[in-house]
Amino acid sequence: MTISAERPVATSGGATTTTERVSWTQRPGIWSQHLGTAIVGAIVGYLLGHWLGNAIASSYPYVQNSGQNVIAVTLGEIFGVAGWLLGIGALNYPLAKLTGRQPAKEVDVQGWSKYFRYSTNHKTVGLQYVVGVLLFLFTGGLLAMAIRTELLNPTTHYFSADTYIKIVSEHGTVMMMMATSIVVGPLGNYLVPLMIGSRRMAFPRIEAFSFWVFTAGYMVIFSALPLGGFPTGWTGYAPLQTQAGPGMIGYLFGFAVIGMGMMAAGFNMAVTIINYRAPGMTWSRVPILVWSLLATSALLTLATPTLFAAGVFGLLDKTAQTAFYVNEHGGSAYLWQNLFWFFGHPEVYIMALPGFGIVGEILPVFTRKPLFAYKVGAAGMIGVALLSFFVWQHHLYQSGINPDMRPLFMLTTELISIPTGFIYLVGMGTLYKAKIRFEIPMLFALALYFNFLIGGVTGVFLSDVPVNVTVHGGFFVLSHFHYTIMGGLLFAFMGGLYYWLPKMTGRMLNKKIGLWHFWTMFVFFNLTFFPMFIIGLLGQPRRVFTYAKNLQGLNDFSSVSAFLLGFSFLIFAFNMVYSLWINPQKAPANPWDSRGLEWQTANPVPSYNFERIPVVLSDPYRYSEPGAPAVADLGDAGLVHAAPQD
């Protein structure tokens, strides 16, 4: 079948003066590649790899006698991921180049089926990521409900101790991997080209590759459950790691696979922001969300290879009998801890910085004020990204590593609160004396500042060695972490969805249902996790399914609140279905009266984003300023002021 279409042709300077007709040949449907062929490829690949692993392991009695053929499982996972990528078409272009053939033209498929294919359109990839991270969030949330069900009673158990720790481990791993991509994937891929005046991402194939590798990693991590799970918690500490069964392969290889996607996404995002900004988009006019994603991309690109290498070392210990993490054979369990947390603490800011970027976009719109101390906020994000590489060992105060190092890491951890505080104060300055419109995105933005204040203050305590020694490994740390990440990033992400989904889908989410969603989520989040500070100070350790009877009341209160918190996400899911399919309401072109460049394109956004590359004339935050210049010159569309000046 031959497909043809017209596309604008840009001349020098970005102006479009003519169009050309583009045609290409689409293969017959039987040869088309989509989600179905990817699933078949993954199954066939896993079976082939497992068979090959059995054949290899037959020569090694220690594998046969152990009752756990980790070689077969590892090769099955590797071949399964390769089959998944082949089935979706992610490897067509590089394989064609390697074999000396001319790669086929990508087909920009229209209609709903495009979301089940390998697409190089950044808007399609962004919406694919939205569904992917929400699926991650839903499945991780179900595991959380199982955890809180078990903790309803200190002596009556729904799960065995072994099953419980595996549920906890899977929940933590799934949620952390979801959170690392929750903004960069959906909102970053969709919005960054629009916000900087570009027609596409720098490397569209790498962008699409990052999503399909992300989904493959999701399946690999969940494959740990039918393989027996892993008992290490989400941190995967040795020697438990080396003693665990084949389910540990799902953890180690899943981290490696998702790590590849994170590195690809971070590199592509950074290159796009640095090189694809429209004329006039100077660094002082770059939106604050883009600044946050640039800092995050640097962390993804520089920190994730450490996690990837750590996972490969663990796989070699499990399959090839190396001893990277085996103390008795010359390795060191400390090596895993250092490699993991050298990635793991920058990862915290991979999750936190985009959240502040989102609310930094929302606050000026609903306060009708310029973003306070914009340059300080941007500098704070770069400062956080830099300092995040110097704090990892505060996770290891109790590990037995040289205690003389503790003062240094206590100092660096305290220092990182300074640029973080700058970012926080940018929001407070924007809110000062503001006339706030309490729309749903704004409510979620305000909730972030409330939650993050609690998480940040408790984090300062945890950076102090004497306090850390007292509360390490308990529910106090767990509550601090959830306030910082879930209370910060997840609330920001939800606010971002309510804010940008009208642009992404052309439909407004229902406001009344959205209010129910916000208030149930905000109230029951705090009722779930604040009591855990008290539980932790009273001595309850995490990852243990029994506890002192005098703590049952607080645990029951947290569990019931957690169930109601889970219900709030069902309200959000219902709002999505109701607003997008049951009773869709068409969104205005600019429903929030924003000056942001992303709101100046047609709605729905055309495949090429801008008919002419815009010339940026001003930053997007100059609300209520008399005589403020237009945001951009869009050529034939004229000067775009974008929003009434209040």
Q: Are 184 and 75 members of one domain?
A: no
Q: Is there a contact between 385 and 347 (Cβ–Cβ < 8 Å)?
A: no
Q: What pLDDT score was predicted for residue 630? A: 82
In a domain, 623, yes or no: no
- Whether 27 maps to a domain, the answer reads yes
What does pTM read for this prediction?
0.91
What are the strands of the beta sheet with 639-640, ordered from one edge? 615-616, 632-633, 639-640
> Which residue among 551, 567, 582 closes a domain?
582
- Are 87 and 153 contained in the same domain? no
Question: Is 60 exceeded by the pLDDT of residue 224?
Answer: yes
CA 67 to chain CA centroid, nearest Å: 37
Q: Which residues of 399-430 are buried (b: 16+ CB within 10 A; e: fewer)?
A: beeeeeebeebbebbeebbebbebbbebbebb
Q: Which helix (H) or strand (E) holds 192?
A: helix 189-196
Same domain, 80 and 125: no
Q: Which residue has the tokens 């590195």?
A: 263
Whether 108 maps to a domain, the answer reads: no
- Shared domain for 72 and 194, answered yes or no, is no
- Asked if pLDDT for residue 29 goes beyond 50, the answer is no
pLDDT over 70 at 319, yes or no: yes
Residue with more model confidence, 602 or 392: 392
Can you tell me the mean pLDDT for 426-445?
A: 96
- 426 and 372 in contact (C-beta within 8 Å)? yes
If asked whether residues 125 and 83 sit together in one domain, one would say no
Domain containing 423 — which CATH number? 1.20.210.10
232 shares its domain with 87: no
- Is the same domain home to 169 and 247? yes
Residue 125's closest CA among 215, 65, 57?
215
Higher pLDDT, 595 or 27: 595
H or E stretch covering 17: strand 16-25
Number of Cβ within a 10 Å radius of residue 161: 13
- The Cα–Cα gap between 125 and 189 comes to 7
Q: Per-residue confidence at 108, pLDDT binned at 50, 70, 90? A: low
Whether 639 maps to a domain, the answer reads no
The token pair at 2 is 């031959």
Whether 73 is in a domain gets the answer yes
- Give residues with Cβ within 8 angstroms of 606, minimum separation 6: none
User: In angstroms, rounded to a whole number, what is the distance separating the alpha carbons of residues 625 and 368?
Assistant: 10
Residues 191 and 79 in one domain: no
Over residues 153-171, the mean pLDDT reads 94
Residues 218 and 345 in one domain: yes
Is the residue at 368 inside a domain? yes
Query: Do 568 and 498 have their domain in common?
Result: yes
Torsion angle of the four alpha carbons 140, 295, 621, 443, in this order, in degrees rounded to the nearest 10:
20
In a domain, 236, yes or no: yes
Summarize the confidence of residues 52-77 as an average pLDDT.
Answer: 76
Say what the pLDDT of residue 18 is: 43
What's the per-residue H, E or C state across 519-553? HHHHHHHHHHHHHHHHHHHCCCECCCCCCCHHHHH
- Pairing status of strand 639-640 against strand 632-633: antiparallel
Number of domains in the chain: 2
How many Cβ atoms are within 10 Å of 433's Cβ, its own excluded? 7
Q: Does residue 91 surpass a pLDDT of 50?
A: yes
* 538 within some domain: yes
Same domain? 87 vs 161: no
The domain in which residue 49 lies consists of 2-98
Of 64, 98, 132, the last residue of a domain is: 98
Residue at a domain's end among 98, 132, 166: 98
Tell whether 90 and 185 lie within a shared domain.
no
